[in-house]
Every structure is written in C-alpha cells, then in structure tokens.
C-alpha cells in the first residue's frame, strides 16, 4: 500500500515468479523502443548493463516525493539508505548498472500504476501487486511480503479494538489508491465512509487532531509512525492476509515492457541468494509483530 511517513512504515515468503500486468487504455511502447528491444526473454535480452532502458546506459528508477522512512532515509532515494532504496540499487547491480548509472525520478504514487506509457524503467514505492493494477502495468515478482495495520491514539475507544468487528463503527482513514484503503472498504466494511487522503502525512494529521478514530497503513510504516511521529498513538493490530498468497510489493514497469522478465529475474535472484532477507533485516527488523485482528 503506499498507500505511506518516515523510519518505520510499509512484514517474507517464497518467490512468486509471475509476470503481472494492469488497466485498459494503456498506450503501447514507443516504436523506437520496441524496435531496439531484443525479442525473447533469454540472456541476450537481459545482457547486463545493456538493456533497452529509457536512457541508454542508464537505469531510471521512480518513487514518490516525499520518500518516507523506513523505505527511504532523509527523503533522499539516491543515498542507498532505507529498505526500498537498498532494494532498488541491489536490483540495479543485478542488472549490470552501478550506482552512478542510476537516475532517480519523482512520480506520484497513483500515477506510477495508472494506465499510460511510463517515463521510468521501474518504480519502487510500496506498490502492492493486485489483479486490478495488473491491467495497466507490469510487475516484477514480489520483493516484500506485507500486512496492513491499524493505528489509534492511546486510550481511545479505537485502541481497545481486538477484532475486525470492533472497527466497524469507527471513522477510519487511509491514503487514496492504497491497499490500506481497500482493507477498510473490503475487509472492515465500516458503517461510516472512510476518510481518504492524498498523502499519509494528511492521514497522520487527521489522527492527531482526532478527525478520525484510526488510520490504516502497512505494518512497517505503522511501527515508524508510532515510534517516531505520533508517539501518543499505538498499533491496534494487523489484518490477516486475504486469500492464499500474501500481499506483496512489486516493482512497477510499463505495460508489456521488455524489461519485465529481466527485472523479475533480478528480484528472484536476490531473494534466492538471501540478499533481500539481509536488506529487510537491516532496515525493517523492528517491524516484526503486532496482534492479529480477526
């Protein structure tokens, strides 16, 4: 979900090697890019450092602004600090691009997976893989397994919730376009319409000002918010996974991108060789547990 705030925000399972794509009306690849893209998904198409990228010899990676912790550090995606910055550079290295060959671009969260041609090679921004989004964009295999969590002010009625049913009568809030909002609408199904915010910062402010009873964010983000940003708030609990497979964050690519198999292979290799687990341990180790709301 970006549905996203700073040091601990947006908990790891097997490697899902599916090429995922998402919404109608997506513009085709420019002819010049398609013409220069080798056919097939073999080694030649994924030659290290020689992919058919937006800018020859460079790898353009996008994320939202501001870039929140613990996914990024100091609002600087290019510094290699924070879970997603570290993952992005690890994928880049796997593809044959060193840090000097990586170019960062700012793209709003919702725009990253909206229909239409992209100006980046891939986007990393806590975007959960979903069937709906697969209609408009491609996804790599998942690089992080995540759960959604509920935050409320300490001592409030919302903080006493122990089940999903306890949340139904509350005023809940989340960022627009996120799986956090989906969990409110589809899992909690509250009796009051959810408050929807353009940014997680606005959702946090609403919680502080008691304009909502609770907000929903991904679990790592919840740990960061309660530890460093809204210290009079607490994690009420986390939701169970919906369905057999866990919710996963995936790297977003243009619909039908020739880079999709290469980026997917890079993510899979990092999972298999233990690199993703090491990066998670370094940057998300504190986001380990919370009560499960059933």
CA dihedral 122, 127, 128, 132 (to 10 degrees): -80
User: What does the pLDDT read at residue 4?
Assistant: 39
**How high is the pLDDT of residue 29?**
38
Closest Cα partner for 34 from 48, 9, 47, 52? 52
Q: What is the mean pLDDT of the chain?
A: 86
pLDDT digits 0-9 by tens, 25-52? 333 333 333 333 334 445 578 999 999 9
Confidence of residue 54 (pLDDT cuts 50, 70, 90): very high
Q: What is the pTM of this model?
A: 0.77
pLDDT score for 34: 35
Please say whether the beta carbons of 94 and 290 come within 8 A: no
CA distance linking residue 221 with residue 12, whole number of Å: 16
pLDDT bracket for residue 288 (50, 70, 90):
low
Predicted confidence at residue 242, as pLDDT, reads 81
Residues in the chain, total = 294
Q: Where are the alpha helices (DSSP H) in 213-274?
A: 219-224, 260-272
pLDDT per position as a tens digit, 207-266? 999 999 999 999 999 999 998 999 999 999 999 988 778 899 999 999 999 999 999 999
CA nearest neighbour of 145 among 292, 287, 266? 287
- Beta strands 195-197 and 172-175 are parallel
Q: How confident is the model at residue 203 (pLDDT cuts 50, 70, 90)?
A: very high
What integer pLDDT is reported at residue 282 of this predicted model?
A: 94
Residues 6+ apart with CB under 8 A from 163: 293, 294
Judge whether residue 20 has pLDDT over 50.
Answer: no
Could you tell me whether strands 148-153 and 122-123 are parallel, antiparallel, or unpaired per DSSP bridges? unpaired
Which pLDDT score, from 0 to 100, does residue 38 have? 37
pLDDT of residue 11: 35
Q: What percent of the chain has pLDDT over 90?
A: 78
135 in the Ramachandran plot: left (φ > 0), alpha (ψ -120 to 50) or beta?
A: alpha
Report the percent of the chain where pLDDT is more than 70. Answer: 84
Say if CB 132 and CB 70 are below 8 A apart. Answer: no
């Amino acid at each position: 979900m970006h549905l996203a705030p700073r040091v601990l925000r947006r908990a790891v399972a097997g490697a899902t090697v599916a090429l995922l794509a998402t919404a109608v009306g997506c513009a085709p690849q420019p002819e010049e890019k398609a013409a220069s893209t080798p056919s097939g998904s073999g080694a030649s198409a994924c030659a290290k450092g020689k992919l058919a990228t937006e800018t020859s010899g460079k790898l353009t990676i996008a994320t939202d602004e501001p870039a929140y912790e613990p996914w990024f550090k100091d609002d600087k995606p290019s510094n290699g600090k924070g879970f997603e910055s570290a993952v992005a550079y690890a994928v880049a290295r796997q593809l044959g691009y060193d840090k000097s060959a990586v170019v960062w671009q700012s793209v709003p969260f919702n725009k990253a997976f909206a229909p239409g041609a992209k100006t980046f090679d891939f986007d990393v921004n806590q975007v959960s893989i979903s069937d709906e989004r697969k209609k408009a964009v491609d996804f790599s295999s998942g690089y992080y397994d995540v759960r959604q969590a509920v935050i409320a002010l300490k001592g409030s009625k919302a903080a006493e919730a122990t089940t999903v049913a306890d949340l139904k009568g509350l005023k809940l809030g989340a960022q627009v376009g996120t799986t956090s909002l989906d969990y409110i609408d589809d899992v909690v199904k509250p009796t009051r319409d959810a408050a929807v915010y353009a940014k997680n910062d606005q959702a946090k402010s609403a919680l502080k000002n008691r304009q909502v009873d609770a907000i929903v964010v991904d679990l790592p983000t919840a740990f960061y918010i309660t530890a460093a940003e809204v210290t009079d708030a607490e994690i009420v609990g986390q939701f169970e996974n919906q369905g057999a497979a866990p919710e996963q964050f995936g790297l977003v690519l243009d619909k039908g991108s020739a880079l999709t198999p290469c980026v997917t292979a890079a993510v899979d290799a990092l999972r298999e060789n233990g690199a993703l687990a090491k990066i998670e341990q370094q940057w998300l180790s504190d986001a380990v547990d919370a009560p499960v709301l059933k």
